[in-house]
Structure 1
């Protein structure tokens, strides 16, 4: 990012509060009025951190391996597979959050199909909404089930290739 763009963003986002600090624009976050893509933005960050922390149960020395493996797990392709696996455990409300995120207008990257990308956006919107509404026990349950589903599928594919 060029410095000029950083200056514009800083001026747009931050205002002095008159007491030497920065004035907050919002006192709280009403998830019901947020764009599903904003919830997905938060959910993406949460899932990245969750996966990185979870992978430390298996490897603690090889940063490049951890980075490559975590990038694979949090990819749109694998998040779409995770959602398919966990869908039966979700409430109707959670499925509705997923649908709103999936149907939000966004552009798919080249590394995933449009369907996978939209599903991953819905998955991330669900995680972001659970995080922003402070449903941390449910968030842990959903992310752990997702991690387990991805891990099991990766092992199944690896076993299949060995034979």
Structure 2
């Protein structure tokens, strides 16, 4: 997007409603018509909050540790691994939402491969869709599966560095 287009959008984002408030352009969102990247944007925010809250079950005083772990867990690399670990548990519709998000045109960050970044975008689009549809039970279930898969993977990496082995299911 060109900078002048960006400035025009930002400049017209909020407009007065004539009653002293702010006029809203949309009354909701049809997830079937929404950009997959917008869905991923919402899913990313949800997963960040889910992970940060979930980490409080393991640490409650060291903010630096919490922040570091959260950043690792929500990385494109770990989200891609998590998606592949839980893919079999998803419905065909959920896999379709993932594919739509994965195939959206975007740019990969430096710390992940293009495939990992696209997979994480698909995963986030799935979470964003469920969030906007207010399917909180399924949303929380999938997020917890992903969290468990990531925790298991992180434990295995730590153990491998120490020359140890982690029992399957230790994070569950």
Are 2:132 and 1:132 aligned? yes
Q: Cα offset for 1:64?
A: 1.1
- The size of the alignment, in residue pairs, is 160
**TM superposition score normalised by structure 1:** 0.94
Q: Corresponding residue for 2:166?
A: none
Cα deviations by residue, 1:40-99 (Å, 9 ceiling, x for unpaired): 000000000000000000111111111111000000000000000110100000000000
Are 2:158 and 1:152 aligned? no
Structure number with greater CO (CA < 8 Å, separation at least 6) is: 1
Mean CA deviation greater in 6-15 or 43-52: 6-15
Query: For the residues of structure 2 that align with 1:8 and 1:92, how far apart are their CA atoms?
Result: 40
Tell me the secondary structure at the aligned position of residue 13 of structure 1: coil
Are 2:30 and 1:23 aligned? no
Tell me the secondary structure at the aligned position of residue 26 of structure 1: coil
Q: Cα offset for 1:11?
A: 2.8
Q: Corresponding residue for 2:95?
A: 95
Q: Corresponding residue for 2:82?
A: 82
Query: For the residues of structure 1 that align with 2:88 and 2:115, how far apart are their CA atoms?
Result: 19
Q: Corresponding residue for 2:51?
A: 51
CA RMSD of superposed structures (Å): 1.7
Tell me the secondary structure at the aligned position of residue 59 of structure 2: coil
Determine which structure has the larger helix proportion and give its number.
1
Q: Corresponding residue for 1:3?
A: none
Where does structure 2 lack aligned partners over 5 or more consecutive residues?
Answer: 1-5, 164-172
Q: Corresponding residue for 2:37?
A: 37
Where does structure 1 lack aligned partners over 5 or more consecutive residues?
Answer: 1-5
Query: For the residues of structure 2 that align with 1:159 and 1:140, how far apart are their CA atoms?
Result: 28
Q: Cα offset for 1:20?
A: 0.5
Q: Corresponding residue for 2:3?
A: none
**TM superposition score normalised by structure 2:** 0.89
